[in-house]
Chains A and B, each alone.
Chain A
Amino acid sequence: MAIAEQHVASAHTNSPDYEGFSWRSWLATVDHKKIGIIYIVVAFAFFVLGGIEAVLMRVQLGAANNTFLTADTYNQLFTMHATTMIFLVIMPMNVGIGNYIVPLMVGARDMAFPRLNALSIWLFIGGGLLLYLSFLTGGAPNAGWFAYAPLTQNQYSPGAAMDYWVLGLGLTGIASIAGGLNFIVTVLNMRAPGMTLNRLPLFVWMNLVVSFIIIFAFPTFTVASIQLLFDRQFGGAVFNPAQGGDALLWQHLFWFFGHPEVYILILPVMGMVSEILPTFSRKPIFGYSFVAYSGVAIGFLGFIVWAHHMFGTGMGPMANAFFSGASMVIAIPTGVKIFNWIATMWSGDLRLTTAMLYAIGFISMFIIGGISGITLASSPIDLQQTDSYYVVAHLHYVLFGGSILGLFAGGFYWFPKITGRMLDDKLGKIQFWLMMVSFNLTFFPMHIAGTEGMPRRIYTYEAGMGWEIWNQIETVGTFLLALSVLMFLYNAIKSIRSGERASNDPWDASTLEWMIPSPPPSYNFLHVPTVTSRRPLWDAKYPHAVGDEHGGHSKPSNVRYEYTDENTPGAKDIHMPTLTFSPMWLSGGLTIAALGFIYINKEILGLPEGIAALGFIAIGIVMVFVGIRAWIVDSRRDSPYMSSHH
């Protein structure tokens, strides 16, 4: 422990290396903003991959009896497409924006646990890479994103693909739970003075709710996938009916996690939209507490509707009735939110920026998805529609029309804060309209094809079923959709290089992240603000408007713009945690150990069964211990107790 003492002694001379670009400053970072950016960039890369998978599938389905893809490739693609979009795109994109914005919004200098935050990002990346490694090692998982039993058992899924799925998602699951805990503690315990729960921005509220959903829902999935792993590796058969197991147990465990998961995907985006609409309507959100508490209600109800994904299994009238009813009830708080958003815009002074357009696009498309959701919630109707393209239409209206459009809204809104440059608004608007049109071209016909009986997850179909025209439209739409995503990529790269510089507060917004420079200095706030209302920045800018139009909070606000950088006098005294590679050691070790677990009962590298696996596991465990030791040393060096001690 001599090293530890040395570190302690040098704690104050060792100022963090945040300035300028260096690989080290990113790979060893514990800054929530950098970690947020890594999340966003990696999630976007996976978005492109998932998009390529989608395009390939749509090419195959563009014509009847097509032979562009084989059945097995098609199965791999739809499995990886959904797994990617859900676990490697929307979730981490939400987490990334949350990581960047939530601490700023509550007036904190970082997340509560910066090292744990770094652990989350590297574990997430490790899990994502592991999942994609499967393509190179004999084929990707091909049993669907919900991995229904007994398809996932060895006899139907030989090879290592399903093991890659279990362990890859296992790693991202640990990352999610760690991230959820981090958000919970940050939101509850790191708020600036005066930032009561009642004044939290709604985006923060939704992140808090989602974090609880994550830590409540993921353990069930973890257990189910561990048992699946035991089935595959040690002959357990928990989900294999042929040997006394129960395939429906998998479905129940999976959807007990899976339905809350869809709220994990949508609630943060609802939070983003609840920030964007007021800003560009020049009005406070209509019914703040309704929006906040309906989020809580959705989070809670989300745990008692899971079996609406299982009406087709014949659960019996009691269970069907219960889960139908509960699913209909959950539409109520969802509807409440929609009305609140519309009322926020009502008679507002609308500024139709690209971000605002996307927010409005989100609402309109989400309504369509919500309505098809309600139809599916009725078990007799669902029996007609389940496993058809109608479900595919529903889920894309809520996930693309909802989450992705909302994420674009958030992207356009916070891009200036994160990069210090504005995105090109004109190009953005063109891209928005292209995306709206192509999105509907791609997904609306699926309602019809589904109603006409086209099953989901088929790699080809006979001519003359009446599905061809719809499929052709969908495929054309897909190419246009891909084009609009590329347009955004072009816009982003161009704007980062040469976009118009962003001021602190380019949108004339109301929350704390806009009081500091774009991009903010590593320590965020030179002086942590004292908050006196729900819209601290507006109340400071428009002290006279406060009482009436802005919703009854007439408290004067002393929040001021800060123009600071790393060299501002006083900045050096702010104690930020130092760079550390310990999270990387830990997550690297866990990823390598996970790779080992995949091959416990399989040959790899020409070695006999198990040998290479044990080697990987041993290396992984050693790395984990190296990481833990470094972690303890580093956390002692940065401990706030220590800094007060010296």
Chain B
Amino acid sequence: MAEHVAHDDHSVAHESHSTKFYWMIGGILAVVTALEVGIFLVESSFSATMFLVILLGLALIKGAGVIAFFMHLRGDAKIFQFVFLVPLLFAFSLCLGFLKLFSNHVGIAG
């Protein structure tokens, strides 16, 4: 693991994508954003849960796209994934934990 050679395969240039690929990702992200706005505009035709699930799902897709392809985390060194995704997981748990603790008008915490 600590060998002092350069691991070219996964360190310097994670697979370099073509410009066309980036345009495509950008396009997809734009479409997803449009979808989000569209769904927002016709909110009333969904149940509240449905609305939430769809919007969160779309946001997740967008975020994953940015992280995986624009930030090249996909296919990059594992250690980058570790130092970024672990705190991201912590952050998700923090958010859910606090929303749970502070749920209801006077939640179990307030």
Check B17 for interface membership: any CB of A closer than 8 A: no
Check B1 for interface membership: any CB of A closer than 8 A: yes
Q: Mark A315-327, 1 if CB is under 8 A from B, else 0.
A: 1101100000000
Whole-angstrom distance from the CB of A181 to the nearest CB of chain B?
A: 9
Check A216 for interface membership: any CB of B closer than 8 A: yes
Instruction: State which size class the interface on A falls in.
Output: 20 to 34
B3 & A193 in contact (Cβ 8 Å cutoff): yes
Check B61 for interface membership: any CB of A closer than 8 A: no
Determine the distance from Cα of A495 to Cα of B29 in the docked complex, in whole angstroms.
Answer: 66
Chain A residues in 8 Å Cβ range of B79: 188
Chain A residues in 8 Å Cβ range of B98: 252
Instruction: Return the contact of B109 from the options A184, A303, A315 (Cβ within 8 A).
Output: A315
B1 & A197 in contact (Cβ 8 Å cutoff): yes
Residues 217-268 of A at the B interface (beta carbon under 8 Å):
220, 246, 248-249, 252, 256
Check B67 for interface membership: any CB of A closer than 8 A: no
Determine the distance from Cα of A17 to Cα of B94 in the docked complex, in whole angstroms.
Answer: 48
Check B24 for interface membership: any CB of A closer than 8 A: no
A252 & B101 in contact (Cβ 8 Å cutoff): yes
Determine the distance from Cα of A316 to Cα of B110 in the docked complex, in whole angstroms.
Answer: 10
Chain B residues in 8 Å Cβ range of A335: none
B102 & A249 in contact (Cβ 8 Å cutoff): yes
Residues 63-102 of B at the A interface (beta carbon under 8 Å):
79, 83, 86-87, 90, 94, 98, 101-102
Check B42 for interface membership: any CB of A closer than 8 A: no
Contacts across chains A and B counted by CB atoms under 8 Å: 40
Instruction: Return the contact of A248 from the options B86, B94, B110 (Cβ within 8 A).
Output: B110
Summarize A's interface: helix, strand, loop or mixed.
helix
Interface size on B, residues (CB 8 A): 16
Check B2 for interface membership: any CB of A closer than 8 A: yes
B108 & A220 in contact (Cβ 8 Å cutoff): no
Whole-angstrom distance from the CB of A148 to the nearest CB of chain B?
A: 15
B90 & A216 in contact (Cβ 8 Å cutoff): yes
Determine the distance from Cα of A307 to Cα of B100 in the docked complex, in whole angstroms.
Answer: 14
Whole-angstrom distance from the CB of A634 to the nearest CB of chain B?
A: 25
B90 & A315 in contact (Cβ 8 Å cutoff): no
Determine the distance from Cα of A324 to Cα of B55 in the docked complex, in whole angstroms.
Answer: 36
Determine the distance from Cα of A246 to Cα of B104 in the docked complex, in whole angstroms.
Answer: 14
Whole-angstrom distance from the CB of A180 to the nearest CB of chain B?
A: 11
Whole-angstrom distance from the CB of A313 to the nearest CB of chain B?
A: 8
For B79, the closest partner residue in chain A by CB is A188
Chain A residues in 8 Å Cβ range of B109: 248-249, 252, 313, 315, 319
Chain A residues in 8 Å Cβ range of B20: none
Whole-angstrom distance from the CB of B110 to the nearest CB of chain A?
A: 5
Check B4 for interface membership: any CB of A closer than 8 A: yes
Instruction: Return the contact of A196 from the options B2, B90, B102 (Cβ within 8 A).
Output: B2
- Interface residues in chain A, defined as those with a beta carbon under 8 Å from any beta carbon in chain B: 184, 188, 191-197, 212, 215-216, 220, 246, 248-249, 252, 256, 303, 307, 313, 315-316, 318-319
6 example contacts (A-B, Cβ-Cβ < 8 A) are as follows A195-B2, A196-B2, A197-B1, A216-B90, A256-B94, A307-B101
